[in-house]
Structure 1
Amino acid sequence: MSQRRTKRSTQAEQDRSTSAEPDISDLEESIKECVRYIICREGSKIPIKRAEIIKHLNTTCQTPSNMVKTILVEADKIIKRVYGYKLIQVEAKSGIQYIVVLTQECDSLPSSAIDGHHRKLLIAALMHIFMSGAAVKEEEMWKFLMEAGLLEENDHAGRKLMTTTFTRQMYLQYRKVGEGDLARNVFLWGQRAVEEVPKLFLLGKMAEAFDKTPDHWCEQYKEATEGNAV
């Protein structure tokens, strides 16, 4: 009887030990390394796969994968406090990913985000989608950017920037809609743009260009100001 009690007691202690929350102090090095890794990766604006974080922490700190969730929570706190950024979890076909965005909405697209000309191209594309109120067909986007003097007819690098780089960075979505003869590619706002780019800023640019006030475009103004109020 005493042996059974001893076994039960030992098993109960093991269960409590397994289910107990990890001591954050024991994970300090892993948390610091996680912060360093995320900040280093942030410069590319390419989403960071959860699997990549797990692999990196396992390689550098021998961190078990079941501790990564706790480490990410603590790393996010440091990133917010020290750098003014936050982690946003996004779902993708390849699994969970994270993007790093500013904690507070700024007045424009952060100038340090991308190259100057690329920034103008991105702002124009996002503005066109926003003012259209829906997805923009690929051919319509090219026409708009060419008329704006931001894209040459045979500028394949510029097109690749739009369809590949900005989509990988999640500023834009570039997707196929429809089937058969009706199939076409369209552009929409990506999740990073939703998080980082103030619609009121874009509307202000439109107002400057046409010598109007932002509320001239009623629907867009309502959407932009409601977004600011959230």
Structure 2
Amino acid sequence: MSQRRPNRSTANIAEEDDDLALDEAVKECVRYIFYREGNKTPFKRADIVKHLSTTCQTPSGDVNTVISRANQILKKIYGYKLVQIASKSGNQFIVILNEECESLHSSNSDSSHRRLLTAALMHIYMTGGAVKEDEMWKFLAEAGLLEENNHTGRKILTNTFTKQLYLHYFKVGEGDLAKNMFEWGQRATEEVPKLFLLQKMAKAFDKQPDHWCEQYKEATEEPMGE
């Protein structure tokens, strides 16, 4: 005797379809975030909304849920996380590592450029604040990392790493008193452990990290990534 299959209500079927659509939107959101992570440039919530609307027809009311679930996957599986930052054009997102790093993870594959960034961040950190542009060029030249008139190399700092938010390059003053400065960018603040830089400094000078008392105190009191 055959058994009658239980009826599935239209509401149940619709609910299952919604769940599948939401799961697909989360996967697409993760893919999009990884795509944007590749060039390290910030992006807006509106960019995610537009992409999900185009690829998955995701309703705008579901976007916050999709982003939240995508962020959970980024943290749990891939070791990344979304961080919201403030900018002149409004709130934006950047994708950063959610774990301690042993090297800088700039998208630039040139090791000399990564060494340049490490040195620049270290110089700012050890100085204790923003560094004048001229002083930065002098330091990098003396360190043998950037020749004095290497304007192409300078653009790596003033353009590439500034767009990626590892560095903040800005002007203070007006007229003849104007000067350009470097300080840590928002990505560096979120992603680069100060203790990592201090340990590299200690190794270079055959010292213990706590040799620099003020910097060591700041580095060891730095909150760990969540």
Question: Are 1:224 and 2:219 matched, yes or no?
Answer: yes
For 1:148, which of 130, 143, 148 is the aligned residue?
143
Q: Is the 8 A contact 2:42 2:94 kept in 1?
A: yes
**Residues of 2 paired with 1:91 and 1:152: CA distance?**
35
**Residues of 2 paired with 1:133 and 1:210: CA distance?**
19
Question: Are 1:74 and 2:69 matched, yes or no?
Answer: yes
Give SS of 1:209's match: helix
- Structure 2 match to 1:13: none
- Structure 2 match to 1:56: 51
Deviations along 1:115-138, whole A, 9 cap, x unmatched? 211110000000000000010001
**Residues of 1 paired with 2:58 and 2:152: CA distance?**
41
**Residues of 1 paired with 2:61 and 2:223: CA distance?**
37
- Structure 1 match to 2:15: none
Alignment of 1:29-178 (within 5 A): 29-110=24-105, 114-178=109-173
Give SS of 2:124's match: helix
Give SS of 2:39's match: coil
Q: Structure 1 residues 131, 80: CA separation in 2 closer, same or farther (over 3 Å shift)?
A: same
Unpaired segments ≥5 residues, structure 1: 1-22
Q: Is the 8 A contact 1:108 1:198 kept in 2?
A: no
Instruction: Provide the aligned C-alpha RMSD in A.
Output: 1.9
**Residues of 2 paired with 1:173 and 1:114: CA distance?**
21
Query: Which piece of structure 1 moves more, 113-122 or 68-77?
Result: 113-122
Q: Structure 1 residues 195, 113: CA separation in 2 closer, same or farther (over 3 Å shift)?
A: farther
Q: Structure 1 residues 40, 152: CA separation in 2 closer, same or farther (over 3 Å shift)?
A: same
- Give, in angstroms, the shift of residue 83 of structure 1: 0.8
- Give, in angstroms, the shift of residue 178 of structure 1: 2.3
Unpaired segments ≥5 residues, structure 2: 1-17
- Give, in angstroms, the shift of residue 205 of structure 1: 1.7
User: What is the TM-score with the length of structure 1 in the denominator?
Assistant: 0.83
Deviations along 1:28-69, whole A, 9 cap, x unmatched? 221111111111221111112222111111111122333222
**Residues of 2 paired with 1:199 and 1:59: CA distance?**
41
Give the number of aligned pairs: 208
Runs of 4+ in 1 over 3 A off after TM superposition: 23-26, 110-114
**Residues of 2 paired with 1:108 and 1:156: CA distance?**
25
**Residues of 1 paired with 2:109 and 2:37: CA distance?**
12
Structure with the larger helix share: 1
Deviations along 1:54-109, whole A, 9 cap, x unmatched? 11111111223332222110110111122111100111122221111111222442
**Residues of 2 paired with 1:76 and 1:66: CA distance?**
17
Deviations along 1:130-158, whole A, 9 cap, x unmatched? 00001000111011111111111221221
2:125 is aligned with what amino acid? Answer: F
Query: Which piece of structure 1 moves more, 92-101 or 155-164?
Result: 92-101
- Structure 2 match to 1:215: 210
Q: Structure 1 residues 31, 165: CA separation in 2 closer, same or farther (over 3 Å shift)?
A: same
